[in-house]
Amino acid sequence: MEQGAYRGFAVEAIAETLWPTRCALCDRPGKVLCDDCARTLDFIDYWQACPRCGAPWGRIQCDHCATDALLHDLTPRLCLGALRYTDRTATLIKTFKDKGEQRLAANLAALVARCAPPSWPVWAQCVTFVTATKSARRRRGFDHMELVANELSRIWGVPCERLLAPPRAKDQRALGRLGRLSNMGDRFRVDGTPAAHRAIVIDDVLTTGATMDDACRALEAAGCACRSLVVARV
């Protein structure tokens, strides 16, 4: 083992002794997400979900895109989600992006990969992601969805491309539904002309659909068709 690699290994071993890896959900030592918790996440049942917008119970009649004219407009593309947005799901995502447990990126990528139909990775020419605002990136020290997109790219063998520049408007988290909708529009910009013509766009949580819609609109205007996947659906 080279000296540098050995030192890295030793630092990791010491860190693991002082702060053992614990499950983000049940605190059991061992893995960032233990097998029991990974098995019992709040999965969206594909057969019960809306085939268009991914709403958890919308297979026959979707409350989100059938009755909500605004959302109907906002989600003209296919969007599927892996988990229902419950307290446990929120904890998982928070531990990843706000507490900096970057190793969860691999778990979240496996979740979104699992909810996509097998034809999607064949259709896609690249995986891309909804970029974080500059301030969120500065606060966290990383662009959380970029990490998930890189992992998804590895799982599927489809290249990962950063196509979207960071959004211009402020962070959506402090805003209510109406605030989010009025905060939308033209927030994303595509840098240059994407080489890919078909992209799978990923994000962590889909609430109103406004952010994803903005991102996809910008990509489509640049000649790139989109399908989207999210870790969680409100």
| 202, 145 contact by CB (below 8 A) | yes
Alpha-carbon distances, residue 91 vs 51, 66, 106, 232 (angstroms): 26, 30, 16, 12
Q: Which is nearer to Zn ion, 38 or 165 (CB)?
A: 38
Q: Which is nearer to Zn ion, 55 or 93 (CB)?
A: 55
Among 32, 49, 65, 229, binds Zn ion (CB under 5 A): 65
Q: Which is nearer to Zn ion, 92 or 127 (CB)?
A: 92
Binding flag, residue 71, Zn ion (CB under 5 A)? no
Within 10 A of 92 (CB to CB), how many other CB atoms are there? 29
Tokens encoding 64 = 């989100």
Least spacing, CB of residue 112 vs Zn ion, in Å: 18
Tokens encoding 106 = 């691999």
Binding flag, residue 116, Zn ion (CB under 5 A)? no
Least spacing, CB of residue 17 vs Zn ion, in Å: 21
The H-assigned helical ranges of the chain are: 3-18, 35-39, 69-74, 87-97, 104-115, 119-123, 134-140, 144-156, 177-182, 210-221
* Cβ neighbours of residue 10 closer than 8 Å, sequence gap 6 or more: none
CA distance 161 to 34: 30
Binding flag, residue 64, Zn ion (CB under 5 A)? yes
Q: Which is nearer to Zn ion, 8 or 117 (CB)?
A: 117
Q: What is the 3-state secondary structure (H, E, C) of 178-231?
A: HHHHHCCCCCCCECCCCCCCEEEEEEEEECCCHHHHHHHHHHHHCCCEEEEEEE
Binding flag, residue 49, Zn ion (CB under 5 A)? no
Q: Which is nearer to Zn ion, 67 or 135 (CB)?
A: 67
CA distance 192 to 65: 32
Binding flag, residue 58, Zn ion (CB under 5 A)? yes
Binding flag, residue 233, Zn ion (CB under 5 A)? no
Among 32, 41, 49, 55, binds Zn ion (CB under 5 A): 55
**Total residues at the site for Zn ion (CB under 5 A)?**
13
Least spacing, CB of residue 50 vs Zn ion, in Å: 3
Binding residues for Zn ion restricted to 6-35, rule: CB under 5 A: 23, 25-26, 34
Among 53, 126, 136, 229, binds Zn ion (CB under 5 A): 53
SS3 52: coil
Binding flag, residue 62, Zn ion (CB under 5 A)? yes
Element (H, E) at 129: strand 126-129
Q: Which stretch binds Zn ion (CB under 5 A): 49-57, 81-89, 108-116, 146-154?
A: 49-57
What is the contact surface with Zn ion in residues (CB under 5 A)?
A: 23, 25-26, 34, 37, 50, 52-53, 55, 58, 62, 64-65
